[in-house]
Amino acid sequence: MPTLHLLTAHLIIMRLGIDSGGTFTDFVFLGEGEGWVHKVPSTPGDPLQSILTGVEEMRPQGLKGVEVVHGTTRGTNAFLERKGARVALLTTAGFEDILYIGRQTRPELFNLMVEKPPEILPRERVLGVQERLGADGGALLPLTPEEISRVKGWVRDQAPEALALCLLHAYAHPRHEERLAAALADLGLPLSLSSRILPEIREYERTAATVLNAYLGPVIQQYLADWSRRLPGVSLFIQQSHGGFLPASQAGAWGLQTILSGPAGGVYGAWRLGQELGLANLLTLDMGGTSTDVALLAGEIPFTREYLLEGYPLGIPVMDIHTVGAGGGSIAFQDRGGALRVGPKSAGADPGPVCYGRGEEVTVTDAHLFLGRLRPENFLGGRMPLYPEAAARALTRLGSVFGVAPAELALGIIRVANSHMAKALRAVSLERGFDPRDFTLCCFGGAAGLQVCDLALELDLRRILVPAQAGVLSALGMALAGFRRDWTRTLLLSGPQLTWARLEQEFRSLKEQGLAEMGQEGWPVEGLTVSGELELRYRGQSDTLTVPCRPDFLSTFHGRHRHLYGHDFPHREVEALSLRLNFLAPASPAASPGIASPAAARSSLPRQGTVWLPEGPVTLPFYERRELQPGEAFSGPALVLEDYATLLILPGFRVEVRPQGHLLLSR
């Protein structure tokens, strides 16, 4: 029987959060008055196998009566590996190349050898439909039955697995898209309509989002079908990129929404924790085995609609998360110039770091183990063996390439990985006008605790928060999440038309539409809260700012413009591009669970040991985290050990144990 951790919780509905990562799969179960956490190695070739293993070990009695909220990288990996569905695109004649032209933005202005990412849609699978609606909805070129018949024949010849429809001005006038979709319905293909996926102006973004949804939808649908076959009868929900979840029965039609589902769970969990502890300003550091995700929470969860995935704009609201290829499994190597590099390539779960017993390339995890910062006795509760000798041989081998001792190489690997993460933290704080010293660094993920003090020193941060279940906080965020759906309407209102009375009218109309459609889908709409936001700009501008939809929207817009750019134009005409409504179900009322008293007896851990710090090897006290009591305090250097994460406390940091077992470090 695996070692599991008992948590305290207060839930009527039993909820299981599952975060399927590249190296480990995490589980958090919350029930009435109890909770459990668990972690198993991921199985990249068959992601469901690790889930089946974890569920069987964690709940032998099964999942009857349990709601499962699952964050998956299935869609993201399919995109990155270009293993999505075979898609065909139907667009208005004359706009067939819009996906390939894109925008004039050039991220590498002076690079004469830019390489574009591999296309997800070959040009030959794009058809221009002979139809055209004007911006006012008038038919400039009717969609005739003959043209529909021609299009249908072309689709049959292409034999796609999914179809994307993006006709001109369909964001406001979708009747041609809907007619075409109705005529093609008997082909049995998944259809993604731009008027449903992203009903907003900006043709390129709308086309890209619709094609991406069509590309990923069948992959998610197949994954969910596999779920139903191997875990029948489970009440399954899929975590979305904005932090809410959707029933699995609907998630397949919204594959685009799953792009950042795993990292979103961690940010949501950190935000809930910050609310409980009265910490409004957080910098989150989520370091797993494959990558590190960072975000800045200045009193609220950060969202963006400008997220790019290898150059493709998503267009939908996603949590504003910055990702770098620096994780515990990131591989160290010598580049062509003779310098030490770490990542972005990762050893993942298969073969994994050298110390897992199968890998051959040195990773960050191998460096920490060699330096004594990881303890084989408690890794995954002692269920997963580590091989320090193999890590030492691999570090010696790579060290000889650089002409340095293994310890010096290991410390260098960690310094390089730290530089990547520090750069990411600066990108979401300093580069956006925030002083990171005003924030508490909240670290979670299995590997973050080993490097968080180094990062705090580099960024001159004064406080660090280490949650009670730092190793599985993303899964906890999923277990605490709630249902969410978004609706959008393009407005294009300015001048005398842009009044609060008109916006209230549009708000009520869109709210009624959203509630009606959710009711048709079978979702109980009672108890949903609805919030709105407006996308505004000065007339003639291209970029927009988002403000809450409320009577003071104009003064809020001017103030936000002044805060970001140092000036505003209070007498200049403002234009409202779109209105967005967020429908939210109440989130779980449970507080983030803390560690309870020790469970079953287990092998004892050493109380001290030799650990390499930047200044050399020292003997440190070891603390077992489950034995720490609220109110207890101690100073570094020290090592805090638990099954799913280890915390290295450097000299100069003082630790205070908070209620529920959270650790607050201060300098």
State the CATH number of the domain containing residue 12: 3.30.420.40
| Confidence tier at 304 by pLDDT (50, 70, 90) | confident
Q: Is residue 419 included in any domain, yes or no?
A: no
Q: What is the pLDDT of residue 603?
A: 52
Q: Is residue 292 included in any domain, yes or no?
A: no
Number of independent structural domains in the chain: 4
| Residue type (1 letter), 217 | G
Summary mean pLDDT of the chain: 89
pLDDT digits (tens, 9 = 90+) for 427-474: 999 998 899 999 999 999 988 999 999 999 999 999 999 998 898 999
Q: What is the pLDDT of residue 6?
A: 37
| Torsion from C-alpha of 170, 176, 178, 181, nearest 10 degrees | -110
**Residue of 58, 74, 57, 69 lying closest to 22 (CA atoms):** 74
Residues 163 and 238 placed together within one structural domain of the fold = no
Residues 59 and 102 placed together within one structural domain of the fold = no
Distance CA 269, CA 295 (A): 12
pLDDT digits (tens, 9 = 90+) for 606-651: 788 999 998 899 999 999 988 899 999 999 899 999 888 999 999 9
Distance CA 130, CA 127 (A): 10
Residues 139 and 225 placed together within one structural domain of the fold = no
Q: Is residue 53 included in any domain, yes or no?
A: yes
Q: Is residue 474 included in any domain, yes or no?
A: no
| Residue type (1 letter), 386 | L
User: Domain ends where: 527, 550, 584?
Assistant: 584
In sequence order, what are the beta bridge partners of 282? 297, 440
Q: What is the pLDDT of residue 15?
A: 87
Question: In a 3-state reduction of DSSP, which class is residue 649?
Answer: strand
Q: Is residue 210 included in any domain, yes or no?
A: no
Distance CA 660, CA 469 (A): 10
Q: Is residue 14 included in any domain, yes or no?
A: yes
Greatest Cα-to-Cα distance within the chain, rounded to the nearest angstrom: 82
375: Cβ–Cβ under 8 A, 6 or more apart, which residues?
605, 606, 609, 622, 639, 641, 646
Distance CA 372, CA 391 (A): 12
Residue 358 confidence (pLDDT) above 70: yes
Residues 90 and 182 placed together within one structural domain of the fold = yes
Range of the domain at 543: 484-584
Q: Concatenated DSSP letters for 297-349?
A: EESS--EES--EETTEE--S-EE--EEES-STTEEEEE-TTS-EEEEEEE-TT
State the CATH number of the domain containing residue 543: 3.30.1490
Residues 122 and 165 placed together within one structural domain of the fold = yes
Q: Is residue 576 included in any domain, yes or no?
A: yes
Per the CB < 8 A criterion, the answer to whether 633 and 623 are in contact is: no
Residues 624 and 569 placed together within one structural domain of the fold = no
Residues 98 and 178 placed together within one structural domain of the fold = yes
Residue 389 confidence (pLDDT) above 70: yes
180: Cβ–Cβ under 8 A, 6 or more apart, which residues?
90, 129, 143, 148, 151, 165, 167
Structure token digits, residue 465: 């928060």
Residue 402 confidence (pLDDT) above 90: yes
pLDDT digits (tens, 9 = 90+) for 60-72: 787 888 899 998 8
* Average of per-residue pLDDT across 302-312: 85
Residues 546 and 623 placed together within one structural domain of the fold = no
Residues 178 and 112 placed together within one structural domain of the fold = yes
Residue 599 confidence (pLDDT) above 50: no
Q: What is the pLDDT of residue 64?
A: 84
Token look-up 């034999």 returns 159
Q: What is the pLDDT of residue 23?
A: 84
Residue 214 confidence (pLDDT) above 60: yes
pLDDT digits (tens, 9 = 90+) for 121-148: 999 999 999 999 999 999 999 999 999 9
Q: Is residue 388 included in any domain, yes or no?
A: no
Structure token digits, residue 382: 């002692």
Residue 12 confidence (pLDDT) above 60: no
Q: What is the pLDDT of residue 446?
A: 87
* Average of per-residue pLDDT across 88-99: 96
Residue 205 confidence (pLDDT) above 80: yes
| Confidence tier at 604 by pLDDT (50, 70, 90) | low
